[in-house]
Amino acid sequence: MASNASEYIKHHLTHWNSSTGFWSLHVDTFTVSLILGFVFVAVFATVARRARVENPGRLQLFVEMIFDMVDNQVKETFHGKSKVLAPMALTIFCWIFLMNAMDMLPVDFLPMIAQWIGHTAFGADPEHVFLRVVPSADVDATFAMSLSVLVCIIGFSITSKGLGGWGKELLTAPFHASGAVGTVILAPVNLLFQLVELVAKPISLSLRLFGNMYAGELIFILIALLPWQVQWILGAPWAIFHILIITLQAFVFMMLTIVYMSLAAENH
């Protein structure tokens, strides 16, 4: 165990890296995200196979409630036709919610299990066994998700308007000019504004989710440093409030994705 509070915090905020250097992979973020993704697919696939109209189970009702919520948001926000957007929004909401929900586990629970396995099975020093279990508190993960959304935004724009129509919009919006000369003069300015808007979308998506979840994770770590009697007094209210945060952040990420997709499909 860490000898002081600083080392304890540093240990809990250190990732399990595949190697050193810029191209190292956060193995803990990748592994936990992958497992949660399979959990989401397995639960929804099982419910879909066993769904029944009469006397549905509680899990089926819960899944249907989530599905209806996402479907209603897509229908109210996106006015075009797409067979991809609703499933993608459902995946984003559920997957990010599961990632965020890992923050509700006791701070030392999974890291101590990882240290025990690393020491007993591989002879590793427990002080050098790291495990962060909240993927959405890793800026690499949030940026990866937001960049994936950016690719989908560009794909939606090209699908809806054609490659030529999308290229024309990059050069003629938001400022319009009458005549070929005015259009050519304003084209670089429009392109700059369009690129800034495209770059701002993934940055806002990723940093909003990362900032909220990183702050929540850090608060739980600080609470874990207090005496156990105080931990219950402070930890329980924060955990209850944090349930709202993890749900809200998943919902915001999903809604902004739907809004960006809707804007990408519209002509400007």
Question: How far apart are the C-alpha atoms of 227 and 229, rounded to whole Å?
Answer: 6
Q: At what angle do helices 228-265 and 180-224 cross, to 10 degrees?
A: 160
Which of 3, 208, 262, 267 is labelled catalytic? Answer: 208
204 counts as catalytic: yes
Rounded to a whole number of angstroms, the CA Rg of the chain reads 23
3-state class (DSSP) for residue 78: coil
Residues 6+ apart with CB under 8 A from 127: 2, 11
Which of 17, 24, 72, 204 is labelled catalytic? Answer: 204
Alpha-carbon 146 to chain mean position: 8
Question: How far apart are the C-alpha atoms of 219 and 75, rounded to whole Å?
Answer: 37
72 counts as catalytic: no
3-state class (DSSP) for residue 154: helix
212 counts as catalytic: yes
Question: How far apart are the C-alpha atoms of 119 and 194, rounded to whole Å?
Answer: 52
Question: How far apart are the C-alpha atoms of 42 and 46, rounded to whole Å?
Answer: 6
26 phi, psi to nearest 5 deg:
-80, 95
Question: How far is residue 204 from each of residues 30, 61, 97, 142, 226, measured CA to CA in Å?
Answer: 22, 33, 18, 10, 34
Contacts by 170-175, CB closer than 8 A, 24 or more apart: 170/194, 173/268, 174/268
Which of 100, 136, 146, 212 is labelled catalytic? Answer: 212
Residues catalogued as catalytic: 204, 208, 212
